[in-house]
Amino acid sequence: MPRMIDLIRSSAVPATLMQAAARGALSVPPSEMIEILVYLANHNKVFGQQARMTLAGWDEKSSLEVAADAKAPPEVLEYFIAPENLRPRLLPSLLENPAVPEATLLQMAEKGSREIVEAMRQSARVHKSPAILRALSANPNSTEREAKQEQAEADLASAADTIPARPAAVPAEEPSGTAEEEAAIAAFMAEHSKELALEADKPFQPLGGMYELEVGLAEPPAAEPTHEDLAAPAESATAIVAASTETLSGSAGPALAAAAPARKPHVPPKKAKSADAERGSALQKIAQLDVKGRIQLAMKGNKEERAILVRDGTKLVALAVLENGKITDGEVEKFASQKNVLEALLRQIPMKRRFAKNYNVIRNLVANPRTPLDVSLALMKNILAQDLKNLASNKEVSETIRKLALKMFKQKTDPTKKSH
């Protein structure tokens, strides 16, 4: 028995059935129904408009299945990805579908809207194609920074194609994603080239001082013994004890004097190498880097290195930490509450969509007296009632924040005041 789509193509069905087909009301599998609707939309003057309207509101789940199916009819994929028919939720699946020609993606990369540009920048397939990346960098809807990053990635991808492949037995020296990291670093450097030229020789100066960074204390303790003091011979301690016994009378003096030589000077026990030692090693490494080196480490380094560099007094280095692909939400929650970071960093955190969706980050920013007032005020609409109550009594934040927090708390807990 022929398929319904074949009968419709050959005009072997009555008009009433064609009308039902244009409404998507036939008892056929969803994939075939979509194929029928696309055919009518492209080739039938009577029912084409109705078919296009039906496709525009078609069930998203079955539409996604067809968009991701490498065996889907080419005409269907062409219809879905055409700019006039494109549904944003289907675009990621269409971009990764190998049945969609690269030539089609090139056209989209050159002329696509801002929404298309953002989706293509998230596509693994796009990042493997130097040609598409270059087209995307030339798109007027790409930002200057994105364009530079895409061009850098395209150059790296082209260069990689010219390097002979390693033998299978030899593991790669760099983890996957290194090329993307290098491209992101290159784009960041290019975007901030003017600032970088002004601060290129600025040394590492953590906010709060090096001592606080090493041991986590706000104030250093009393002066510690010098190296010479620790190296003093044990005999000096014995001599002091012996001299003190001369002032004593009776039998106690000789007894103390006799016991004194047996006492040994206190020698601090040796500590095993710990996280503190590793932190010190990271500090030494960072202190030897220039601004460019610290930016690269901020964008590629580990958690320990990020925790140090986020407090760098050079703004570009601190901001580069937020561009690190391995940074976790927990780290940013901690950064948002720190008072020894740059205001520019606290201002940048909520501008990242990923962090702006994290309630703990937003709450910590508003409660941080270091956060710029305009940023805190803009974020307060997202704060829950209990946290507003805590803010209203927080003496560290500004009076403006406390008053607004109290007002918003009353509005949220007293329905009669919401309309005022």
Task: Specify the higher pLDDT residue, 246 or 373.
Answer: 373
The domain segmentation of the chain, as residue ranges, is 1-100, 328-420
pLDDT tier at 137 (50, 70, 90 boundaries)? confident
Rounded to 5°, the CA angle 214-230-246 comes to 140
Cβ(67)–Cβ(80) below 8 Å: yes
Three-state SS annotation for 80-113: HHCCCCCCHHHHHHHHHCCCCCHHHHHHHHHHCC
Q: What is the distance between the alpha carbons of residues 395 and 392, in angstroms, rounded to a whole number?
A: 8
Mean pLDDT, to the nearest integer, of 15-36? 93
Q: Where are the alpha helices (DSSP H) in 301-351?
A: 303-309, 315-321, 329-337, 343-348
* pTM tops 0.75, yes or no: no
pLDDT tier at 302 (50, 70, 90 boundaries)? very high
Mean pLDDT, to the nearest integer, of 203-230? 57
Cβ(366)–Cβ(384) below 8 Å: no
Residue-wise pLDDT tens digits, 155-212: 666 655 544 444 443 333 333 446 778 888 888 888 888 888 888 788 888 887 765 6
Residue-wise pLDDT tens digits, 305-356: 999 999 999 999 999 999 999 999 999 999 999 999 999 999 999 999 989 9
Mean pLDDT, to the nearest integer, of 33-38? 95
- Residue 234 DSSP SS3: helix
Per mean pLDDT, which range of 42-56, 94-108, 170-184, 385-399 is the poorest?
A: 170-184
Residue 195 phi, psi dihedral angles, 5° rounding: -65, -35
Q: Measured on CA atoms in the order 182, 187, 188, 194, is the torsion positive or negative?
A: positive
Mean pLDDT, to the nearest integer, of 372-389? 92
pLDDT tier at 48 (50, 70, 90 boundaries)? very high
